[in-house]
Amino acid sequence: MAAGCRGAPPAEWRYPRPAMPPIDLRSDTVTLPTPAMRAAIAAAEVGDDVYGDDPTINALEARAAALLGKEAALFVASGTMGNLVAQLAHLARGQEAIASRDSHLVVHEASGHAVVVGASVCMLRDRPDGTFDLDELRAAFRDPGDPHQPVTGLVAIENTHSQSMARPLSVEYTRTVADIAHEHGVPLHVDGARFFNAVVALGVRPAELAGPADSVTFCLSKGLACPVGSVVVGSRDFIWRARRARKLVGGGMRQAGFLAAAGLVALSDGPDGMIPRLAEDHRNARLLAEGLAGLDGIGSPGGITQPTPGPLDPDRAVTNFVVFRVDREPAAFLDALRDRGVLMGPFGRDTIRAVTHFGIRAADIAATVAAVRDALADTAEASPGAARPAVGAASGALA
Ligand code: TLP
């Protein structure tokens, strides 16, 4: 077994499903394809993509490159694969990437940077607005003249920035980080798993936000509701290297135009396109945060997710995440919530995440707030967590 894949499976890693279709807020990855996508999938013209013969993948890659203002694009199986092939294309073995301590690339990708890329990561702390302290960023570049040190080969940022409750990072900030990276001769990669949520929240054009970056990965399979896939964009040379890297990790997918067809629908202009409707998810997240903030037992998640202790602050929910803390044992609360037909998930230590997405309507938000109220009541007595410190109290907030 490969060294990076050891570890015992947990007793039960599949979430038991309730009898009724739940209001599933665990992630926007649970979205199902639209009727227009299903029709496009059924009708898709396909070919062997490893030979470059799949017209639907070629069309998707051309559309993605044009939309984000880059020379070329590559369709990959997942956001994780997108970040991995981007690192393989940017970094030589033994180099170092600068990335956020809490980023998906560092925490949730099974150490692909170390296991597959052979790179170390210099981890920076993010601030509550999702940005790096720029002096800390400047200080993180290694001295290329010192043979003891790794050579810095990449800066990576995440937009939207999950740990800060999915805040969007601005065009100006992205440009500043890119300028600093480029001064050191290093490219900037954006993990834009929810890049279009950032575009919609900021009210900018995709090409403006992608412009300063050397590469961007965005996911089709999250808020854009496609069944599978992500796209990496960048220069022609970079995408050629990423294509080779995709082969290396076994990601050459042959007639995957059936999957790309849904992506073309999602990125289309007009009524079937999925980008502008992300604004509805953001409104619903805000509604949910407002509803939850009014409940006893719900409080600030702490840390950079919400640095102020006390009640949950709805102003933190600017895209499609709501992250909060309960003054109960989180697992018992989540079980009680599931029994009431609502799924949410743990998000880091002791905090809970709800993600709004296609298929969740304002009425579901009202039902969710009612279910949370009931689940809090269900777990008030029995939970050993009832003795936990009050939510949002200074001692209860993550540092
Ligand atoms: N994130 C998933 C989980 O893996 C945590 C989620 O439910 O949010 N970058 C970011 C910022 C992401 O949030 C994710 C997925 C990825 C990359 C990876 O995408 P996939 O799941 O397609 O490999």
For the residues 108-119, what does the mean pLDDT come to? Answer: 96
pTM here is 0.93
Cα 159 to Cα 167: distance, rounded to the nearest angstrom? 8
CA 224 to ligand 1 centroid distance, Å:
13
Cα 238 to Cα 214: distance, rounded to the nearest angstrom? 9
Atom of ligand 1 nearest to the CA of 162: 11
Cα 136 to Cα 215: distance, rounded to the nearest angstrom? 22
291, 369 contact by CB (below 8 A): yes
pLDDT confidence bin for 308, thresholds 50/70/90: very high
Residue type, 243: R
Cα 105 to Cα 74: distance, rounded to the nearest angstrom? 19
For residue 29 and ligand 1, the question of a CB distance below 6 A is answered with yes
For residue 222 and ligand 1, the question of a CB distance below 6 A is answered with no
For residue 219 and ligand 1, the question of a CB distance below 6 A is answered with yes
CATH H superfamily, domain 277-384: Aspartate Aminotransferase, domain 1 (3.90.1150.10)
Strands 298-299 and 321-326: antiparallel
pLDDT tens-digit series, residues 193-242? 999 999 999 999 999 999 999 999 999 999 999 999 999 999 999 999 99
Cα 169 to Cα 158: distance, rounded to the nearest angstrom? 8
For residue 221 and ligand 1, the question of a CB distance below 6 A is answered with yes
**Confidence check: pLDDT of 2 > 70:** no
CA 363 to ligand 1 centroid distance, Å:
27
For residue 104 and ligand 1, the question of a CB distance below 6 A is answered with yes
Nearest to 297 by CA among 322, 335, 324: 324
Cα 217 to Cα 306: distance, rounded to the nearest angstrom? 26
Nearest to 239 by CA among 113, 62, 96: 62
pLDDT confidence bin for 341, thresholds 50/70/90: very high
For residue 27 and ligand 1, the question of a CB distance below 6 A is answered with yes
For residue 80 and ligand 1, the question of a CB distance below 6 A is answered with yes
Predicted local distance difference test score (pLDDT) of residue 397: 33
What percentage of the chain has pLDDT greater than the value 70? Answer: 92
List the domain boundaries for the chain: 30-266, 277-384
117, 106 contact by CB (below 8 A): no
**Confidence check: pLDDT of 365 > 60:** yes
**Beta bridge mates, 157:** 190
Predicted local distance difference test score (pLDDT) of residue 106: 96
**Confidence check: pLDDT of 8 > 80:** no
Higher pLDDT, residue 254 or 7:
254
**Confidence check: pLDDT of 384 > 60:** no
For residue 245 and ligand 1, the question of a CB distance below 6 A is answered with no
In sequence order, the 6+-apart residues with CB closer than 8 A to the CB of 214 are 90, 178, 187, 188, 189, 234, 235, 238
Cα 333 to Cα 373: distance, rounded to the nearest angstrom? 10
Nearest to 192 by CA among 268, 305, 289, 275: 275
Question: Where do we find the tokens 């939309």?
Answer: 67
pLDDT tens-digit series, residues 118-142? 999 999 999 999 999 999 999 999 9
User: What does pLDDT average to over the chain?
Assistant: 93
User: Strand, helix or coil at 21?
Assistant: coil
For residue 130 and ligand 1, the question of a CB distance below 6 A is answered with no
pLDDT tens-digit series, residues 52-110? 999 999 999 999 999 999 999 999 999 999 999 999 999 999 999 999 999 999 999 99
Predicted local distance difference test score (pLDDT) of residue 14: 63
Which residue puts its alpha carbon closest to atom 20 of ligand 1? 79
Strands 96-100 and 152-158: parallel
Nearest to 369 by CA among 298, 308, 310, 321: 298
Predicted local distance difference test score (pLDDT) of residue 364: 97
**Domain 30-266 classification at class level:** alpha beta
For residue 79 and ligand 1, the question of a CB distance below 6 A is answered with yes
CB count, 10 Å around CB of 376? Answer: 20
176, 169 contact by CB (below 8 A): no
pLDDT confidence bin for 363, thresholds 50/70/90: very high
Query: Which bin fits 201, alpha (ψ -120 to 50), beta or left (φ > 0)?
Result: alpha
**Confidence check: pLDDT of 395 > 50:** no
CA 109 to ligand 1 centroid distance, Å:
9
Predicted local distance difference test score (pLDDT) of residue 6: 78
Question: Where do we find the tokens 């639907």?
Answer: 56
User: Strand, helix or coil at 223?
Assistant: coil
For the residues 363-387, what does the mean pLDDT come to? Answer: 84
pLDDT tens-digit series, residues 10-65? 766 665 555 566 999 999 999 999 999 999 999 999 999 999 999 999 999 999 99
pLDDT tens-digit series, residues 147-169? 999 999 999 999 999 999 999 99
Predicted local distance difference test score (pLDDT) of residue 383: 52
Predicted local distance difference test score (pLDDT) of residue 348: 84
Q: How long is the chain?
A: 399
Cα-Cα-Cα-Cα dihedral of 125, 127, 132, 133, to 10°?
-100
Cα 252 to Cα 165: distance, rounded to the nearest angstrom? 34
Helix axes 362-379, 278-293, angle to 10 degrees: 30
CA 11 to ligand 1 centroid distance, Å:
23
Which residue puts its alpha carbon closest to atom 18 of ligand 1? 79
